[in-house]
Chain A
Amino acid sequence: MASEERRVEELLQKWEEEVRAAREIRRREADWDFIRRQPPRLRAALELYVETGDLHLAARIAGMTVDEFNELRLKAKIPVVL
């Protein structure tokens, strides 16, 4: 039981570090001029994507399907970080 708890704790810690590193990469590589030129709703969705990497949520904010939002993400040069 203790080893299972330790495994979970280690996983959660590893994921937290991954989330932080991925956010930094998205912030660094995003085309902020492009993002700032977008209408408020799309700008908010792109900023949310930079912060969270959540394509579904960002697409919902933008009022698009994930596929459509992915096209916008590419134009904004925001990478998917794995």
Chain B
Amino acid sequence: MEVAVIDTCFLINWARFSGRGKLKLLFSRLFMPELTFSEVRSETALMVASKWLSERFLVLAPTLPTDEDEVEEILRFVASHPQLPAIDPPELYAFVLARRLGVPFLTDNKAPKRVSQLSTQYSSVLVLDSLDVLKMIADRGEELGTLVESFMKETGFRFSRARLREVGLLGL
């Protein structure tokens, strides 16, 4: 797994995490739609984004006119399933880009993961959140408990007991 698409939330969360460099153990390049990048404003996230852009670790991807149809299709799907959390256009374009490139989509928004779980049409998109990514890093020889603890402390995250159980950090 070498390439992935990220959205704003993932970038701003990982920009605050001191272990963000470990993403390079998993990925050689991260794509982000230009439209999504325009949401990044904080100095912390811009400093990290600037470094990653200069290294070509982060690459901005244009939005194509053909994306619009798919965006509309997903919006229609979400609207017809009120149990799904709202999904905003910036993350939608990232989702569509991941599908177009056939690569994982890294996001801490719940909606894209749920769309891929609920709809057989979008089940081909592998949606990973920060805990999934931390687990993948740990599988490369890092200590998961330490990674998760640092991530939660530095980014203001909490992982539910169910999720921690899923990755083996709590007994069954």
A54 touches B86 (CB 8 A): yes
Chain A 60-82 interface residues, beta-carbon cutoff 8 Å to B: 65-68, 70-71, 73-74, 77-82
Q: Are B42 and A82 in contact (CB under 8 A)?
A: no
A18 to B8, CA, bound (A): 23
Point out the residues of chain A lying under 8 angstroms from B163, CB to CB: 82
**A69 to B100 Cα, complex, angstroms:** 30
How many residues of chain B are within 8 Å of chain A by beta carbon?
33
Q: Mark A1-32, 1 if CB is under 8 A from B, else 0.
A: 00000001001100110100110010001000
**A44 on the interface (CB 8 Å rule)?**
no
Residues of A within 8 A of B91 (CB): 56
Do B158 and A67 touch across chains, with their CB atoms under 8 A apart?
A: no
Partner of B39 from A67, A71, A82 at Cβ < 8 Å: A67
Interface centre among B90, B91, B152, B160 (most CB of A within 10 A): B160
In chain A, what residue has the closest Cβ to B7? Answer: A66
Are B160 and A80 closer than 8 Å at their CB atoms?
no
Q: How far is the CA of A53 from the CA of B129 in the complex (A)?
A: 15
Give CA–CA (A82, B114) in the complex, Å: 13
**Among the listed A11, A54, A68, A80, which residue makes an inter-chain contact with B158, where contact means beta carbons less than 8 Å apart?**
A80
Distance of A64 Cα from B17 Cα, bound (Å): 22
Contact with B130, one of A18, A57, A82 (Cβ below 8 angstroms)? A82
Whether A16 and B83, one on each chain, are in contact in the complex, defined by CB atoms closer than 8 angstroms, is yes
Residues of A within 8 A of B63 (CB): none
Interface pair B155/A80, CB less than 8 Å apart:
yes
Return B54 CB to nearest CB of chain A, in Å: 20
12 further contact pairs, Cβ within 8 A, besides A71-B42, A74-B156: A8-B118, A15-B83, A21-B160, A65-B41, A66-B9, A66-B12, A67-B12, A67-B42, A70-B9, A79-B157, A81-B158, A82-B108
